[in-house]
Each structure stands twice: as C-alpha cells, then as structure tokens.
Structure 1
C-alpha cells in the first residue's frame, strides 16, 4: 500500500515537456549528468525510445529533476523521486547525494528492468567495465562495500560516545569511551574513501539505506 501511495504521489509531480531536442552527451559531463535509455518494441512493429536525463547539480534553483525524452524530444519533467507513465508501465527515477539510486522500467505486471546507461556516461563506462572485466569489476565493488562498512562502524562509534553521556543513559548503562582514536589524516582518508565508494555504487545504481546513506 505504501509503495502504491509513493508511486501515485510521484506521478502527480509529472509535468509536460517543452518538446526541445535531446542534447548529446559530452565528455566533461561524466559526473554532472546521467543519461539512460529504454527501447520499447510494439506489436505493430513501431519502436519508441525513451531517455531519462538527470543533472546531478540541479537546475538554477539547485533542484534536481528528472527529464524524460521520447524519441529524442522532451516529453515530461518531474522532481525526484519521479515516476513517468510510459507505454506498458512506469519509469521510476530516484537519486541520492552522489548519483542515481534507481532508474527502472516497471511494467504493469510488476516486472522491473533497469534502463541502459548511455555508453559515453560514467554509468555507461562502469557498466562496460562490469561487462568486459567482471573480475576487476567485482573486486572494485567488494572494496566499495568494505569501505562503507568501515564508515558505518566508525560513525556508530562516534555517535555512541556522546549519546552515552546523556544523564539517564549514563546512569543506567554507563559512559561508552571509544577505543579508537584515529589520526586526522586516516580519518580524512576513510571519509574520502567512503564518499568514493558511494559514488562507485551510484554508477551501478546500487543503494542500501544504511551503507550508502552513511557514506554520503
């Protein structure tokens, strides 16, 4: 029920597009623009190409929006999270602070398909690495998870100490003293590593509420 309410709410945010043409992806837009495609074949032989564009830096007001293009023309726009009604289902788009969390085509029967990233985009290059070098890709993904797990543990320790000093908690449980006192350089390195790990996972549209939220 909650998922349906969330989807209905997103659908109400959709506004009609202005018909402008889709601009090609440029090399300098690697981490500022996401571009993903969906091709749907119809029973009459007609083919429709949908493209989702997300500018991670937001518009002039700093608001991140998802733009839907149909056959190369601007068809609709919505604030994220977005849900665009298309032939046979819905395209759902969600973002995090570092990139995409989700960009999937959900059919009327509930089947989900992730959209294909543009080969020139950062998401497309990451997908090509996974396709052409699965071992290297798996190792990179594993390191990303390890860095995020370390970040979650360190965050939990940092939070536990001040919470334990709250008088009612200190009186009943005691004060927790952190066993870890990392040097500034190491703490900074781990913070940067966690941010890079979240970015790497966003390129694959992998998101976990605990791991990736802590890394942002």
Structure 2
C-alpha cells in the first residue's frame, strides 16, 4: 500500500517537456551526467537524462525524459514516467543512479546506458572482461563492508558513554584505533566503491548508504 502511494506521488510530479532536442553525451560529463536509452516494441526511442550534480539554481536532481530525441517530460527524483506499455522508474542515491528501469505488466528491464557514459564504459568492461569485472565488484563490496564495520566501531564508543547506557551495559572501548592516513584512505575507498556500484545500479541500503 505504501509503495502504491509512493508510486502515485512520483507520477504526479511529472511535468510536460518543452520539445528541445537531446544533447549528445560529452566526455567531460562522466560523473556529472547519466544517460540511458530504451527502444520499445512499438518503435519509440526513449532517453532518460539525469544531471547528477543537480540544477544550477535550486540544486534539485531531476530526470528529463526524451521521446524520439525531443524533450517529452521532466520530474524531480524519484520519478515515474508513463511510457508505451508501462512506466520508466528513475531513482538516485548519493553515489549515482540506483534505478532506471522500464516496468511493464510482464516484468521490468534496466535501460541501456549510453556507450560514452561512465555507466556505459562500466558495462563494456563487464561484457569484454567479465573476470576483471567480477573482481572489481567483489573489491567494492569488501571495501564497503570494512567501511560499515569501522563506522559501527566508531559510533558505538560515544553512544556507550551516554549515562543510562553506560550504567546498564557498560562503556564500550573500540579495539581499533586507526591512524588518520589509513582512516582517510578507507573512507575514500568506500566512496569510490559506492560510485562503482552505482555505475552498475547496485544499491544496498546499509552498504551503499554508509559508504556514499
């Protein structure tokens, strides 16, 4: 029931487009823009364009929907766009897109990333070098697990010093005290890991929420 309400609320945010043409993806937009494509069975070409750094004036992150190369609709994220045979659902995390799918009564499929985009380049690595791609994916998960574990240890000690908790449970002393350089390195590694997973639209509320 809550999902239905959220779906209707997202669909209600959709506004009509202004008909401008879709701009091609440029090499310098690797981490500021996501561009995905869909060609439906009816022969319609859709494109979803997201500027990840937000609007220059308001800072809001929006998704622009193009139909056959022309601006068709726009909505704040998360967005649900009505299209031929279903909807296109778009959602974002702090690290990048976490959802860009065509949803129909038969199921759902992820849209295809533009080959020039960071997502497209990551997809090409997965296609051309699957072993290296899997290794990179495992490394990302490992870095995020380490990041979450360190965060729990760092947060547990000050929380345990709150008087009611300290009186009933005792004070927890973290067994790890990392040097600043290592803590900084692991923090950067976790952020990069979340970004790598976002390029594949992999998202876990705990791992990627803590790492991004």
- 2:74 aligns to what? 77
Q: CA deviation at 1:78?
A: 0.3
Task: Pick from 195, 198, 210 the counterpart of residue 202 of structure 1.
Answer: 198
Equivalence for 1:99: 96
Aligned residues, how many?
211
In 1: Cα distance, 2:143 partner to 2:156 partner: 20
Any idea what the Cα deviations from partners look like across 1:61-83, whole Å, max 9, x if unmatched? 11100000000000000000000
Q: Structure 2 CA distance, aligned partners of 1:92 and 1:131?
A: 25
CA RMSD of aligned residues (A): 0.7
TM-score normalised by the chain length of structure 1: 0.96
**Aligned partners of 2:76 and 2:27: how far apart in 1?**
25
Q: Which one of the candidate residues 132, 136, 141 is aligned to 2:132? A: 136
Partner of 1:18: 18
TM-aligned CA deviation for residue 148 of structure 1: 0.1
TM-score (norm 2): 0.98
Find 2:62's aligned residue among 60, 65, 74.
65
Partner of 1:161: 157
SS in 1 for 2:40: strand
Tell me, in whole angstroms, the C-alpha distance in 2 between the residues paired with 1:100 and 1:75: 20
Match in the other structure for 2:7: 7
Q: SS of the residue aligned with 2:38?
A: strand
Query: Aligned pair 1:88/2:85, yes or no?
Result: yes
CA deviation digits over 1:59-112, x for unaligned, max 9? Answer: 121110000000000000000000001011110000011210110011034x11
* Contiguous gaps of at least 5 residues in structure 1: none
C-alpha displacement of 1:41: 1.7
Moved more, 95-104 or 205-214: 95-104
Query: For 2:101 and 2:207, how far apart are their aligned partners in 1?
Result: 21
Q: Secondary structure at the match of 2:172?
A: coil
Secondary structure, counterpart of 2:186 in structure 1: helix
